[in-house]
Amino acid sequence: MLVDVIAANSVRPRESGDPEQRTEQSKPVAPGFPLARERTGGSRRGLSRRRFVATFAPALFGLPARAQERYPTRTIKLIVAFAPGGVADIMGRLIAQLLQHKLGGTVIVENKPGGDGLIGMGEVVRAAPDGYTLLVGGFGGQVVPPLMKDDFPFDVRRDIVKIALTAEFANVVVVNKDLPVNSIAELIAYLKARPGQLNFGSSGRATSDRLAAELFMLETGTRMQNVPYRGGGVALNDLIGGTTHVMFPQLPAVLGMATSGAVKPLAVTSSYRLDQLPELPTLSETVLPGFHVASWNMLFGPRGLPEAIRTTLSDTLVDAVTAPQFRDRMRAIGVAPVGKPAAEAEAFFEQELVRWKRVVDVSGVKLER
């Protein structure tokens, strides 16, 4: 089975019993260097040395001159490469609140949908590496597209800096409330009796919910038509309206609709049940042993981001998502807080690329041009 290729690699959410987190406030990105005072006399050599240190020390330490100032000193812009209402947008706004609360200043979110996330990602790749233009992304935006698109224009290993892994969230199998099925087994039987006649919505052509649906069809021998959107929110609206029949959205985007009865949830794609929907079985325990798909969220910056700014952002987010008040808030919206700093986030990102490349290669799922 293809699921044998998918070794369970879910992120371990932080629990309340974790070691006490850092509580100190974020520090200036780099210490300032005192400027030499103008003197009318004295050694010209000594004056020259002090001026040299003030002018060139930041460059010697790999920092831009502005890094002598406290970070941030102006508005930080978080780019979300999908439309409002989806999980990327939900996480972007939550991260903006966390950073603003911890760092001070202003943090805004700009939605830049289109091109399966390429428009928003491109803006960050081309941005100045000063810490003021960042990308809120993850599995569906930075891992799936480059594996499914042969002509993907960016090198995700090189062109974006991994800052912090913030959260994990499962996908949920949901159907239009009027579809005459009430379990995964019934859905599979219904689809097999109508091969290719039903469709499934996805938040884009190369996204995690699309890949989850493709894997489900491959493993169950069913066939549906994909209807891609520019974000999960608009896709879910059409599912409610009956334009599409099935979706595999991420939990934060669909939790309210699932609990209110606007859509009919059937199962979760993770290998574990969810605290928010404990009655829902997993695909693994019902029809697909070993099946596990879970998405995750990460903060990225452009290549060349100074290490001191990267560390400040990383430490700030790790402290925030593991603090009790924010941890409980994230769980309430369907997100499992993780809080892995920059080095661990980078290693995890590489593992995900390798793991899912094997899945895409074996399954043959590729993005049509």
Categorise residue 44: left if φ over 0, alpha if ψ from -120 to 50, beta otherwise: alpha
Assess whether pLDDT exceeds 90 at residue 122. Answer: yes
CATH code, domain carrying 205? 3.40.190.10
**CA–CA separation, 35 vs 234, rounded Å?**
55
> Number of structural domains, the chain?
2
191-217 pLDDT per residue, tens: 999 999 999 999 888 888 998 998 899
| pLDDT tens per residue, range 329-353 | 888 888 889 999 999 999 999 999 9
Of 266, 286, 306, the position where a domain reaches its end is 286
For residues 327-343, one letter each, b for 16 or more C-beta atoms within 10 angstroms of the residue's C-beta and e for the rest, the string is: bebbeebbbbbbbbbbe
Cβ-based neighbours of 287, under 8 Å, separated by 6 or more: 184, 185, 188, 220
- The most confident of 68-72, 305-309, 323-327, by mean pLDDT: 305-309
Q: What is the mean pLDDT of the chain?
A: 84
Question: In terms of residue numbers, what domain contains 206?
Answer: 172-286
In a domain, 11, yes or no: no
Confidence of residue 115 (pLDDT cuts 50, 70, 90): confident
CA distance 200 to 211: 12
Q: Both 256 and 180 in a single domain?
A: yes
Q: State whether 310 and 163 are in the same domain.
A: yes
Q: Are residues 109 and 187 in the same domain?
A: no
Residue 341, classed as helix, strand or coil, is coil
Based on the fold, state whether residues 185 and 281 are members of the same structural domain: yes
For 211-268, what is the HEC assignment?
Answer: HHHHHHHHHHCCCCEEEECCCHHHHHHHHHHCCCCEECCEHHHHHHHHHHCCEEEEEE
Q: Find the distance separating the first CA and the last CA of the chain, reported in whole Å.
A: 28
Question: Is 154's pLDDT higher than 70?
Answer: yes
- Nearest partner of 11 among 286, 279, 252, 293, judged by Cα: 293
Are 217 and 276 contained in the same domain? yes
The proportion of the chain whose per-residue pLDDT surpasses 70, expressed as a percent, equals: 80
Q: Are strands 263-268 and 246-247 parallel, antiparallel or unpaired?
A: unpaired
* Residue position matching structure tokens 């990327």: 88
Q: Is residue 368 part of a domain?
A: no
| 10 pLDDT more than 60 | no
* Distance, CA of 346 to CA of 368 (rounded, Å): 29
Residue 15: burial class (beta carbons within 10 Å; 0-12, 13-18, 19+): exposed
- For range 119-146, the mean pLDDT: 95
92: nearest Cα among 138, 128, 132, 127:
138
- Give the pLDDT confidence score for residue 361 in this predicted structure: 85
CA trace torsion 320, 325, 328, 330 (10° rounding): -40
Question: How confident is the model at residue 69, as a pLDDT?
Answer: 66
Query: How, if at all, do strands 246-247 and 107-111 pair?
Result: unpaired
- Which string of b and e fits 294-321 if b means at least 16 CB within 10 Å? bbbbbbbbbeebbbbbbbbbbbbbbbbb
Residues 198 and 241 both lie in one domain = yes
Does 196 or 58 have the greater pLDDT score? Answer: 196
Does residue 155 sit within a domain? yes
Check the CA dihedral 119-144-220-284 and report its sign: negative
The separation between CA 236 and the C-alpha centre of its own chain, rounded to angstroms, equals: 19
pLDDT recorded at residue 368: 61
Q: Quick count: other Cβ atoms within 10 Å of Cβ 285?
A: 14
Q: Are 359 and 2 a contacting pair, CB within 8 Å?
A: yes
What per-residue confidence (pLDDT) applies to 49?
Answer: 46
Shared-domain flag, residues 141 and 78 = yes
pLDDT at 322: 87
Where residue 85 sits, what CATH number does that domain have? 3.40.190.150
Q: Tell whether 359 and 278 lie within a shared domain.
A: no
Tell me how crowded residue 117 is: count the other CB atoms within 10 A of its CB: 28
3-state helix, strand, coil in the chain (%, to 5): 40, 20, 40
Let me know if residue 88 belongs to a domain: yes
- Determine phi and psi for 301, rounding to 5 degrees: -135, 170
Q: Per the domain annotation, does 350 fall within a domain? A: yes
C-alpha 365/C-alpha 270 separation (Å) is 20
Residues 177 and 280 in one domain: yes
Q: Is residue 20 one of the residues assigned to a domain? A: no
188 and 137 share one domain: no
Which tokens go with 124? 């960050």
